[in-house]
A and B are shown apart, each in its own frame.
Chain A
Amino acid sequence: MTKVTMTVNGKSVSADSEARTLLSEFLREGLRLTGTHVGCDTSQCGACVVHVDGLAVKSCTVLAQDVAGAEVRTIEGMANADGSLGVIQQAFQDHHGLQCGFCTPGMVMTAASLLKDNPKPTEHEVREYLEGNICRCTGYHNIVKAIMAASGQDVSAIAAE
């Protein structure tokens, strides 16, 4: 066991970590930040996406010890300072971009990363960017719509409903 320290959602935190502890485990079990979900064991589903030093990564593919000292942001750090939903989160609620909510943290983190790289993505670009995130509930329609709305685009013309 080694004590690993990093900055998570703006706060310096530390917890014990084995050499094999994944960042997803470190967040969920070490820090009890359970908003980051684990949906697979082959790095395919994207439920575990967080930001490490500003980049979206699948936290199930990263060893906690390898990101010691990094700036990590999780879904728990995405709301506005006053606790209200951030722009992307609000768009997901407004456009019904989630159902069971399990894929949602990863979707929001991925969407944030997309909009940072590409502030006005086309529908096609959104779909391509979500390649690593699986949602079984929504059929993606409303996720895509929510992300485009969050980018400030008018989504009222996107296929009926």
Chain B
Amino acid sequence: MQTKRTRQGYADGLMELARENQRVVVLDCDVSKATQTCDFQRLFPQRFFNCGVQEANMMWVAAGLALEGFIPFATTFGVFASCRAGDQVRNSIAYPKVNVKIAATHCGISTGGDGASHQANEDIAIMRSFPNMTILVPGDYEEAKLATKAAAAFNGPVYLRLGRDAYPVIAEIHHGFEIGKAKLLREGRDITLITTGIMVSEGLKAAEMLKEKNYSARVIHMPTLKPLDSEAVLQAARETRRVVTAEEHSIIGGLGEAVAGLLSETIPTPVRRVGVKDVFGESGMASELLDKYGLRAINIYQEALRLLKES
């Protein structure tokens, strides 16, 4: 299976955007070779600003640029964008609805060798709790490119969540990207698997595994976590009566809680969450960590089976 990096999709999307739109500018915090904005810098040196190692400052600088009409993409690792600069994002961007795009790479446990200090497993939770924040979590390279362009076209704060590693390319998510819209990837009657970000390929695999057991699983991919496509979730609950969510993020505050929260107040439905189980990560290769922390098709499959047998 072909694999590609979502962060590269972001950088390539940026370069296409910048050709069309003079207002697009990019900021980075001394990690441009990792976030890939160095490619943008090479092409548009006048529109690239390296802030050095100062994430908090970058957020307010970006806000200043946005207030004067630019469309800044403030770029750094997810853990620093959400935690180090959390106050700045809340007060300078989310609260006054400033048109800043926060691009966060190296999110999730697949960040790998750098270990827990660099693995953002709580960034979605933080960003989701800020009013006015739109959260995009693309599933592969191409979708990251689409999300980058959609973020620029959208007026308001956006948090764009990207990974470090290369992930499978999923052709089905390469068209019709729309903020706030889920993508139905497989029809199904018995259970719905809702995935976000890189978990989309694992979700599709899990559906195949369930099919072998004669269960028909619906697969919904959620590249927008906020605002949540509640219509897609409600319909799935009505029609399949069981839901498993999967995200490369803590089970606290992410996709799983968003879905469970919505359903418990509307159509109470059993929901199982696949994600990082309220623990910090550790150093290791991305693939071994995804195995160890239970973020694989097999984990989705097992949760689904349990749910199917219980109810």
**A and B pair up:** no
Task: List residues of B whose CB falls within 8 A of some A CB.
Answer: none
A interface residues with partner B (beta carbon < 8 Å)? none
